[in-house]
A and B are shown apart, each in its own frame.
Chain A
């Protein structure tokens, strides 16, 4: 295959486009036949307006649809496709690429237990097993082993419906599940947002960076 190039050697954009994303109008859902909840439509349209190219809104739109439907169901994808005027196939391919998008129905309470290197040096696999056991086959729970969540300072840790908690003991597994069932704040004393920086010098009260006469 010969590839069209600029004089300076770079390929001319579009050479590697696998598909014409808006080619087949038949496969883009018909707005008249595809009911989209008003709030979801509004969220997707707001996301599309934020970018120079509306297609950039694919991930934010899928986040919104998953939030509403609980997973990226064919119906959810169809609704996003309808508002964004993209093919469901394109969006399905996007869903398949990213770990946070669920392509099967899952429980509403999401617990990601990090089992990557720093956490597994501190007992993450046992923790994951304990959380799985505590949740049992309760269909309300979605317990997953996850890659490094960027909080190895509180290893072993988990993200519970988006809130980071750690360092966790095996006995915390039961508490997490119970507190989620009761709709309570999960392990308040172990939430990352309440932690101070480890560097001891960061906590000392030092004078402001700019002297007053330095200010414009």
Chain B
């Protein structure tokens, strides 16, 4: 296994303070970066091949290069909303090494020529917000933030902004509206934030882990960093493993190692006597994979090729003692709750899906309802301003198609238990609960 970058010294007592962070080499990358021209810093980010760690996996250097040149206010926004079920890596970083994020932000802002920055942290992370606030204050008093940082021509302000509980505010344009003091409804794209983002100005938005990796890229050099991982998934990645494993938690891995090594080698696999039934490779929004896919390399492209995605790097393991119907219903309820309601397919589709899964759960459904569930998922995908609806549709569709037998068996067992007798085929409209 490769050396640790993000997790090196992470449990060092006091690492959250500037003093200990600097003793461990902290802010050296910032000094190095500020001695380079902006273009060279940006080139390092491009060379590194670093892909966004927030979900979509877009190349970070490329996104930074999209910001227009000019003297207008430009913004860097750190996405610390971390609400994707199963994901808890940003929390660990912010709580234990807040200065790493602050340092990464200052360097990224320099590369993108941004002069104002914000961290949008989910409201529930109260303790982490306090730790970050202290770190920002320390960085400010050391001259790392403010006007003409360390005598360079780079100036940057940094404001920590607490949200108040809404998954959709992790979606980048929903986040921007929320940061502007509104309800967090996503915006129509284009224009993309790089052109018209926060306060209508050019805005670079990146995830916490993406930005915290930046100091390491400067320290190693972009090309050296790119040697880690695979050709198209460079570097190391924090993986949050949870669910039915013996050692749930965050692990730093080199991208491209077999998923089995993460789930079994690091996280210990399911309890003795239990087997993996299925697993989400990238948060609850990713289509589920089966044990047959455990030996795939864990990287962006391999997960995509398997019909799923690496997403935020959150692996949720479900063992064979669990009911797939129950997991699907829990998941659908979450997305129904979090849909902002702006687009009809998502607002209505998540609601119908929950209702239909409840019918499956209670035994009132027929196998035909499973087809309707699958078709509703198709109606949602690709039809909304953002992909929150897709984020339910993809995993639900994958569960229904991969575990159809179990869904059917569940319906039958429930019917028998309740003494409901043979199902009468409902008309499609009844099946989806119209009018109820």
The interface of chain A, by Cβ under 8 A from chain B, is 9-11, 13, 50-53, 55-60, 62-63, 93-94, 96-101, 112, 115-118, 120-122, 146-155, 159, 162-164, 192-193, 196-199, 201-203, 206, 208-210, 214-216
- 1/0 per position for B322-337, CB-CB distance to A under 8 A? 1000110011001001
CA distance A147 to B240 in the complex (A): 17
Option from B7, B24, B164, B248 in Cβ contact (under 8 Å) with A202: B7
Interface size class of B (residues with CB under 8 A): 35 or more
**Whole-angstrom CA separation of A112 from B327 in the bound complex:** 21
Identify which of B164, B182, B248 contacts A99 (C-beta below 8 A).
B164
Contact of B166 among A11, A13, A98 (CB under 8 A): A98
B73 — which chain A residues lie within 8 A by C-beta? 52
Bound complex: CA A146 to CA B241 (Å): 20
Contact B164 A59 (CB under 8 A): yes
Q: Return chain B residues, CB-CB under 8 Å to A159.
A: 124
Q: B162 and A147: CB pair below 8 A?
A: no
Contact A56 B85, beta carbon cutoff 8 Å: no
A199 touches B252 (CB 8 A): yes
A163 to B243, alpha carbons, bound, how many Å? 22
Contact (Cβ within 8 A) A216 B31:
yes
Check B190 against A10 for contact (C-beta < 8 Å).
yes
Find chain A residues with CB under 8 A from B96 CB.
197
Please state if B200 and A55 are interface contacts (CB–CB under 8 Å): no
A55 touches B243 (CB 8 A): no
**Pair A53/B199 contact, Cβ less than 8 Å:** yes
Q: Is B430 an interface residue (CB 8 A)?
A: no
Measured between beta carbons, the chain A residues less than 8 angstroms from B8 are: 202, 206, 209
Residues of A contacting B337 with CB < 8 Å?
147
Flag if B164 contacts A51 (CB, 8 Å). Answer: no
**Interchain CB contact (< 8 A) of B11 among A98, A155, A203:** A203
B179 part of interface (Cβ distance < 8 Å): yes
The reply to whether A198 and B249 contact each other, CB–CB distance below 8 Å, is: yes
A57 nearest CB across to chain B (Å): 7
Judge whether B85 and A99 touch: CB under 8 Å. no
Q: Enumerate chain B residues within 8 angstroms of A148, measured Cβ to Cβ.
A: 83-87, 284, 334
B167 at the A interface (CB under 8 A): yes
Instruction: For the complex, give the distance between the alpha carbons of A6 and B267 in Å.
Output: 53
Task: Give Cα A202 to B251, complex, Å.
Answer: 9
> Of the candidates B125, B181, B340, which one forms a contact with A58 in the assembled complex, judged by CB atoms under 8 Å apart?
B181
Bound-state Cα–Cα, A192 to B35, Å: 39
Residues of A within 8 A of B307 (CB): none
Q: Which of A52, A164, A196 contacts B116 (CB 8 A)?
A: A52
Q: Give Cα A14–Cα B24 distance, bound, in whole angstroms.
A: 48
Docked pose: A148 CA to B83 CA in angstroms: 7
Q: Would you call B166 and A199 a contact (CB within 8 A)?
A: no
With contact pairs A147-B338, A193-B127 given, residues A118 and B161 touching in the complex (Cβ less than 8 Å):
no
Interface residues of B in 1-33 (CB under 8 A from A): 1, 4, 7-11, 23-25, 28, 31-32
Name which residue of chain A comes closest to B35, CB basis: A216
